[in-house]
Amino acid sequence: MMEPSHRGRRSFIRLAVSAAASAVLLAGGLGAPTVWAQQAGQTSAKEFRVGWQKGSNLAILKARGNLDARLEKAGVKVTWIEFTAGPQMLEGLNVGSIDFACVGETPPVFAQAANADLVYVANEPPAAEAEKILVPKDSPIKSVAELKGKRVVLNKGSNVHYQLLRALEKEKLAYSDVKVVFLPPPDARVAFESGDVDAWVIWDPFAQAAISQVGARVLATGTDSGVKNYNFYLSTSKYAKNSPEVLKWAVEEIRVTGDWVQAHFDEAAVILAPQINLTPEITREALQHYGYGVTQPLADNVIANQQAIADAFFALKLIPKKLDVKSVVWKP
C-alpha cells in the first residue's frame, strides 16, 4: 500500500530507490513485556533495517513501536527506510540497504528472476478482495472480456500484474490481447482520471480511494480473477543465516500487530489515513480487505501458489528463466 498522489510522473520511478535510501527514520519504542528479556538471548545483529511503505501493515508496526522496544532490549536498533512500492523495496533488499521487507506476490518473483539475494520468511493470509480491476464510472466497458484491445495500466511487477493475467485467462484472452501500460499508482491514477487508459489494475487503498472519490467501477476483484494475493515478508539469505532470532522476533511482533488491527480497525485507520491522504472511513474499508495472521514458515500450498505465478510469467517471457521458489523459502 502506498500514498496516493499526483506527483512526478516521469521522475517517480527513477528517483524511488535513491529517495527511499535517504528517508531513514528511527521509530521510538513504547515498551515490551519484561518476560521477553529472558527470551532475548544473544544476537550478532546490531541493526535491523526495515523497508516500509506508507499505509501498510508495517507502517502500523512502526507507529506502535513494539518492534523497536523488543529489539532494543537485545541491543538491536531498528531503522525504518521508506519505499514507494514492492519492486523498489526488493531492489533495496538486493543491494543491501535493508534487511527486511513486506511485498505482494509478484515482486519476489521478478526479484528472484533477477538473481536477487532473498528468502521468504513468512506470509499473511490471502487478501483477494484487496485487488481490483477498475474502469471509470462512465466507461462503456462492462466486463473483463471487453478489455480486448484496450489500454490497461498497472504497476509492473506488482501483485496486480498476476491478477490481470488470470482475469484475461478466465475470459480466454491472451496477455497480448490488451495494451499494458506500466505506471506506479500515483501516475496511474492521473492516467485513469484523464482518460489516457481504459482500465486500471490496482490494490487497496488506491482502489478504494478511486471508488469512493471518483466513482470508479469494479470489473473484477482478485476473487473474481482467481488469485490469492498473499503478502510476504522477506529478508536476505545472509541476514537469515547470521541473525535468525531477529527475524523470528519480528514475525512475532507482526503477529501481535495483526491481532491488534483486527480488534481496532478504527484506531488503525486513524494511524494510516494521514499517511496516505485518505479519510479514516476509506482507510478502514481498505484495511478490512487484507488478511491478518502471519504464518512462518511458508506452507506447501503457499509455495505452490508462488510457483504457479513464476511459471506463468516465465511462459509469457516476462521473466528470463524458470524459477524454483521452494529453494528460497527460509525454514528456521
Helix or strand (DSSP H, E) at 155: none
CA dist., res. 2 & res. 207, Å (int): 11
Q: How many CB atoms lie within 10 A of CB 262?
A: 15
How distant, in Å, are the alpha carbons of 147, 185, 224, 252 from that of 135? 10, 15, 15, 39
Q: Evaluate whether 11-127+230-328 and 128-225 have a shared fold.
A: yes
Q: What is the pLDDT of residue 128?
A: 95
State whether the Cα torsion 19-310-59-329 is positive or negative. negative
Architecture of domain 11-127+230-328: 3-Layer(aba) Sandwich (3.40)
> How does pLDDT run across 88-122, given as a tens digit for each residue?
899 999 999 999 999 999 999 999 999 999 999 99
> How does pLDDT run across 270-308, given as a tens digit for each residue?
999 999 889 999 999 999 999 999 999 999 999 999 999
Worst-scoring range by mean pLDDT, 41-45, 125-129, 136-140, 217-221? 41-45
Q: Is 184 exposed, middle or buried (0-12, 13-18, 19+ CB in 10 A)?
A: buried
Q: Between 1.20.1250.20, 3.40.50.450, 3.40.190.10, 3.40.50.720, what CATH number should domain 128-225 receive?
A: 3.40.190.10
CB 307 within 8 A of CB 105: no
**Partners of 233 in the β-ladder:** 102, 122
What is the distance, to the nearest Å, from the Cα of residue 105 to the centroid of all Cα atoms in its chain?
8
Residue 35 has pLDDT above 70, yes or no: no
DSSP, residue by residue, 218-238: EEEEHHHHT-----EEEE-HH
Residue 18 has pLDDT above 70, yes or no: no
Question: Which pTM was predicted?
Answer: 0.82
**Partners of 47 in the β-ladder:** 77
- Per domain, the residue ranges of the chain are 11-127+230-328, 128-225
